[in-house]
Structure 1
């Protein structure tokens, strides 16, 4: 199992402080892919730039697709640029892949925005792996989950030992904060627009 898959399954299985937004989850999944690709030595970071390494076959089609989509021309792209580019629609893509692989059930519980039904993880080794990693308070998984509002008890207070992984986590947090600011601006604009039309 990969970190993005674990994160997706945890997002369905663990109740959060608020509903998980599809856009937030997509950004976090893109960050999780970067972290796994870092671990596989398919890329390195130069400051906030994503420097691709050799094209590797990881055995996971979504990670392989992510590695193939790295920008391979200098000055390369920033982590933030990667999160926004790769993250577009990524939660739906992971939903569809996991569903096709039999990792989700049709039982109603949590709704993924943009999908016609609700799903929970099936009782599979993949689900147990994600749950074990979550319960062990893995710093990467809990760090990514907390950016989308998923926490189980107080924060663990631990950070990844790997400075590059921590850099990605911080970038994901910044991107999710930026996305929430965009949502808030739209809400304010919609309220103002409604008020104009309601004015006598």
Structure 2
């Protein structure tokens, strides 16, 4: 399993401190992919730019797709640019992959009109491994989970990430999440102002 898959499983398995936005999760998943590519020595960081290395065989389809989509010409792509480009719709892609593998199933909700279903995690070795990694406070998973507000963990309470490159990626995820929240707040203010105009307030 990859860090991104483990993060998605933990996010589904753990009640977040606040409703989990798909955009937040997608940014964190994109960061998790860079961290796994660093671990596989498929990339390195030059300051905050992702420099492709050798092209290892990667069993995970989505992580292999990530490796294939790296910018391979100087000045390369910054971690921040990667998060926004790669992160677009990424949580849906990972959820679809888990569902295709039988890691996620659809469960019919009782007493709901039209028999709607919700997606739930199957009891699987992958789920148990992700849970073990989470409960052991593994620094990378803990840092990414805290960044998106799951498990009651705050970023300042997460174990320190020792590797400088990984810490750079985690910091970029935090910055991107703050930027996304600022965009949401700005849109909410604009929409409220627009509504006030229509109401004549």
| TM-score category (smaller protein) | over 0.9
TM-score, with length taken from structure 2: 0.92
After superposition, the C-alpha distances for 1:138-180 in whole angstroms (9 at most, x for unaligned) are 1100110111111345664411111111110000010011001
Comparing 99-108 and 19-28, the one that deviates more: 99-108
Residue 120 of structure 1, CA deviation:
2.2
Residues matched between the structures, number? 194
TM-score, with length taken from structure 1: 0.92
After superposition, the C-alpha distances for 1:104-163 in whole angstroms (9 at most, x for unaligned) are 122369xxxxxx853222100000000000000111001101111113456644111111
Equivalent position of 2:188 in the other structure: 187
Pair 1:171-2:151 in alignment = no
Equivalent position of 1:31 in the other structure: 31
Equivalent position of 2:113 in the other structure: none
Contact 1:44 1:52 survives alignment (8 Å): yes
How is 1:1-200 mapped onto 2 (pairs within 5 angstroms)? 1-107=1-107, 117-152=117-152, 156-199=157-200
What SS does the aligned partner of 1:160 have?
coil
> How many Å separate the matches in 2 of 1:53 and 1:123?
36
Root mean square deviation, CA, Å: 1.6
Residue 58 of structure 1, CA deviation:
1.6
Contact 1:9 1:127 survives alignment (8 Å): yes
